[in-house]
Amino acid sequence: MSDVRKEPSLETIISLAKRRGFVFPSSEIYGGFAGVYDYGPLGVELENNLKAQWWKKMVYDRDDIVGLDSSIFMNPRIWEASGHTKNFSDPMAQCNVCNTRVRVDKALQAIGIDADEKMSEEEISNLFDAHRSEIACEHCGSKDFSAVRAVNLLVQSNLGDFTEQGNSPSYLRGETCQGIYVNYKNVLDSTPVKIPFGIAQIGKAFRNEISPRQFLFRGREFEQMEMQYFVAPEDEMTEYKKLREYRWDAMLALGLQEKNLRWKQHKNLVFYAKDAWDIEYAFPWGFDELEGVHARGDYDLTQHTKGSGKPLEYFEQETGRRFTPHIIESSGGVGRLFLAMLVDAYREDVLNGETRVYLAFPPSIAPVKAMISPLLKNKPELVEKAREVYTALKKDIPQIMWDDNGNIGKRYRRQDEIGTPFCITIDFDTLGEKPELKDTVTLRDRDTATQTRISISDISSRIRVGTLNKGI
Ligand code: ATP
C-alpha cells in the first residue's frame, strides 16, 4: 500500500466537503448566495475542534490571556475612530464587457507584480494602468476595464434606524479585534490582569469582498480567532518575536505539515505598524495567508482614546508611570484553517486494488473519533451488542458515530473519506463464538487499514489515547 500524498485540487476538496456533509454552499436551493457557506454535520464538529484547540492554546494554556465574546454590532463611531469607514477598502476595477469585478491588487499579484492593499489608491491605480495589457477578465477574456476605485469593505445595516431617509448606518463588524480594544479597560478593571496581558476572542466578521472566491478562503461572512496582546512600549518587539514563535508552534501542534507552512513579511506596512508577518499555507493555488501576526504600536488605543474621549492609559503601579499600551496581535480565520486542514489531510492510495480517498486528520481534530457497527445489521444479537458498546462509549467520547449501512467494506471507505481514525466492529466472536475472543472487537486503523482485536473494556482508553491526548 502506498501513501503518496496527491495534491488535491480545490474542486476535489469542495466536492468532498459537500458530498460528505462538511460544507454546503449557502442558500443552495435558491441558487446560492456568493461568499457565504454553511457548515454541515461533520463541518461543525471539525470547526468546533479547531476552535477548542485554539482556545486551549490561547487562553487555557496561558495565565496572561483571558477570553471575551463581544457583540457583532457596535457604536458606529468605533469604525470611524479605527479608520475603517475611510480606509477599509480594496481596489476594484470592473470589466467593461461583462461587468465582472476584479480585485486589482490580487490581479496584479497574479501576474507577478508586487502590489498590496496597503498602497495608496493612486499608486495602485497607476500600477494597474501600466499593466492593463497583461490583465484579462477571467470571465470573458476582455482587457477593457474601468478605472480603479476603492470599495469600502464594511457591511452596512439599518439596525436601530427608523428614519425615512435611512441615513445613519450601523455596521456588522469587519473584524473582531475592535470589540477587544473597546473592552480593554473593562477587562483591566474587572480582572487581575497586568501588563503584559492578552484578550482572545472567536467570532463572526463580515466584509463586502469584491470577488469572494476560493471557497472558505475568502468569504463575505466568516469567523475570526484573534488575540490582542497589550504590552509596554519598550517590550513590543521582544513580545512580538515570542508571539510569532508561539503561533508557529501552534500550527505544528495542530498537525499541519511544516512543509506546507511558511512565513511572509509584509513589504508595505500601514503607517502605524512596526512589523507584520503572515503565516502562509500551501493552498491548492499556492502559498497564501492563513493568519497574520502583527505589531501594531499604540495606534488602536490612541485612536479609541481620541474617538471616545476616554483615557485608555495603563497605570504601572511599581513605577508610577502611565502609558498607552502597544498591541501585538495574532489574527486568523476559522474558515482558512478549516480549508488548510482538509487540504493537508487529503490522501489517495490503493487498497485491495482500488483507489481509496482518506483524510489523515490528526485524531484530535477529526470530526468523528470512531465508528461503531455490527458486522451484519440483520442479526439482532450483533446489533444489540453493538448498540450497548456504542451507548457506553458515547458517554465518554461524544464524537462517535453509529453506521450499519451497506456492507462493512463500504462503511470503512465512508469513514476513511471523513477522516475517522478508528472503526470498531462487533462480530460473532464478540458474542463468544470463539470463547477466547468473547467481549473483544475489531479495531481498524484508518491510515494503515490494519485490524487488531481489543477488549471492549479497553476501547475507551485506546481511543482517548489515540485521539485526545495528541498535539495541543
Ligand atoms: P486578505 O489580504 O487576504 O484580504 P487581510 O490581510 O485583509 O486578508 P486581515 O484583515 O489581516 O486579513 O484578517 C485576519 C485574518 O482573518 C486573515 O489572516 C484570514 O485568516 C481571515 N480573513 C480575512 N478576510 C477573510 C475572508 N474574507 N474570508 C475568510 N477569512 C478571512
Q: Is the CB of 116 under 6 A from ligand 1?
A: no
The alpha carbon of 175 and the centre of ligand 1 are apart by a number of angstroms equal to 9
Instruction: Give the orientation angle of helix 10-19 with respect to helix 334-345, to 10 degrees.
Output: 100
Cβ of 288 less than 6 Å from ligand 1: no
Between the CA of 336 and the centroid of ligand 1 the distance, in Å, is 9
- What pLDDT sits at residue 2? 35
Domains of the chain by range and CATH? 2-72+176-343 (3.30.930.10), 89-152 (2.20.28), 361-467 (3.40.50.800)
State if residue 37 touches ligand 1 by the CB under 6 angstroms criterion. no
The rounded Å distance from CA 464 to ligand 1 centre is 34
Q: How far is the CA of 218 from the centre of ligand 1 (A)?
A: 7
Ligand 1: centre distance to CA 224 (Å): 8
CA distance 306 to 32: 42
> Residue 114 C-alpha to ligand 1 middle, in angstroms?
18
User: Is residue 224 within 6 Å of ligand 1 at its C-beta?
Assistant: yes
**pLDDT < 50 regions, the chain:** 1-6, 469-472
Closest C-alpha residue for ligand 1 atom 21: 333
Q: Dihedrals φ, ψ of 462, to 5°? A: -60, -45
Q: Is the CB of 291 under 6 A from ligand 1?
A: yes
Measured by CA distance, the residue closest to atom 19 of ligand 1 is 333
What letter does residue 233 receive in the DSSP assignment?
A: G
pLDDT tens per residue, range 106-133: 899 888 888 876 778 888 999 999 999 9
pLDDT tens-digit map of 159-215: 988 887 777 789 999 999 999 999 999 999 999 999 999 999 999 999 999 988 899
- CA nearest 177: which of 313, 310, 332, 335? 332
Nearest protein Cα to ligand 1, atom 30: 333
Using the mean position of ligand 1's atoms as its centre, give its distance from the Cα of residue 118 in Å: 14
CA distance 164 to 146: 34
- Model pLDDT, residue 361: 96
Query: Ligand 1: which residue has its CA nearest to atom 1?
Result: 289
Residue with cell 501576526: 293
Residue identifier of the C-alpha nearest atom 3 of ligand 1 = 289
3-state secondary structure of 366: coil
CA-wise closest residue to 72 among 193, 223, 241, 248? 223
> pLDDT by residue (tens digit) across 426-449?
999 999 999 999 999 999 999 999
Q: Is the CB of 174 under 6 A from ligand 1?
A: no
For residue 361, give the nearest of 404, 413, 415 by alpha carbon: 415
Quick one: DSSP state of residue 435?
Answer: G
Angle, CA 330 vertex, CA 324 and CA 334 arms, to 5°: 140
Single pTM value for the model: 0.94
